[in-house]
A = this chain, B = another copy of it.
Amino acid sequence: MILTVTPNAALDVTYQIDALTPYATHRVGAVAERAGGKGVNVARVLHGLGTPVLATGLAGGPTGQRLRELLIADDVAEAFLPVTGDARRTVVVADRADATGFWEPGPTVTAAEWSGFTAHFAALLAGVKVVVLSGSLPPGVPATAYAELLALAHAAGAATILDADGDPLRQGLRVQPDLVKPNAAELHALTGIRVDGPDAARAAVAALRELGAGDVVASLGGGGLVAVSEQGVWRARLAEPLTGNPTGAGDACVAALARGLLAGQPWPERLRDAVALSAAAVLSPVAGVVDPAVYERLRTEVIVDVC
């Protein structure tokens, strides 16, 4: 069983409009709602692939209630803890050309609520093999939040994946997550190394491992993935990067890495899956939904090199 944690889960709202005109007023044609947040997207991809997964995190108020109802309607098992503050919304305005996003900061969580969540999380760990911790923290949750959850997961014998940025990632690294998946911007922020290619990525990853990271999979967008582990260093990519909807591609990548960790899959296969699942997400109009046939086709096109 994989457990995904989304401390700042969101109700993703998409507004369909004809064309975005800055500083005008737009009548929205259609409003679509779905449960969102990075860990929620990971859980949805895993569920779609038939991997047993449970989604948890904080989700309060009527917006949190709605988010949970939508997850249940999608048949994704959830154990979110309700808090007093209303869950945030992420509003995506989609026109015929592209999408523009507005991400609310999230509700303020009290110290007592956070403490309640750590106990809730600990109780969910029985039988969990892999824990995935994803995304931003809502106001009020301490920057040590992921470090606390990682320590609890390791004590329970679970392997851990951390997909975060900034101080929560930095603090989490001290507790040595089994795998982190930074992108180029996160690597630069943490190590000061500007990641403009595979060589710079390897240098930045080495610096990250000094900070405490176990295995590192750096995502370089169209440049693919660079993985560094005790077993070796690999680069995996498609011959030609795809264009499409990058939202959720990182979450699909994490879903593949979580499956690989759960199954003890060899690294080259793990990376093949991760690149193919990310690319299939790029080709999907909706974050967290992947076409299995597209995924299977792309798997055969991934190039994995030993570095």
Residues of A within 8 A of B (CB): 15, 17, 20-29, 31, 62-63, 65-66, 91, 93, 97-105
Contact = CB atoms under 8 A, between A and B. Distances in A.
A292 B22 CA distance: 32
Contacts of A15: 91, 102, 104
Contact of A105 (B23, B28, B66, B98): B28
Contacts of A103: 25-28
B24 A105 contact: no
Task: Give the top 5 A-B pairs by smallest Cβ distance, nearest first.
Answer: A62-B62, A25-B101, A23-B98, A28-B104, A26-B102
A231 B167 CA distance: 70
A91 B104 CA distance: 12
A22 B23 contact: no
A62 B15 CA distance: 19
Nearest to A26: B102
Nearest to A107: B31
A63 B15 CA distance: 17
As for how many copies of this chain the complex holds, the number is 2
A104 B23 contact: no
B22 A102 contact: no
6 contacts: A17-B102, A20-B23, A24-B101, A26-B101, A31-B105, A93-B102
A119 to B, nearest CB: 28
A43 to B, nearest CB: 21
A4 B64 CA distance: 33
B28 A102 contact: yes
B100 A22 contact: yes
Nearest to A136: B27
Contacts of A63: 62
A99 B26 CA distance: 11
A63 B66 CA distance: 12
Nearest to A65: B62
Given A20-B22, A22-B20, A22-B22, A29 B101 contact: no
A194 to B, nearest CB: 21
A20 B21 CA distance: 11
B31 A97 contact: no
Nearest to A27: B103
A24 B103 CA distance: 11
A155 B292 CA distance: 64
Given A15-B102, A104-B15, A97 B28 contact: no
A78 to B, nearest CB: 19
A31 B138 CA distance: 14
Contacts of A26: 100-103
A163 to B, nearest CB: 17
A29 B105 contact: yes
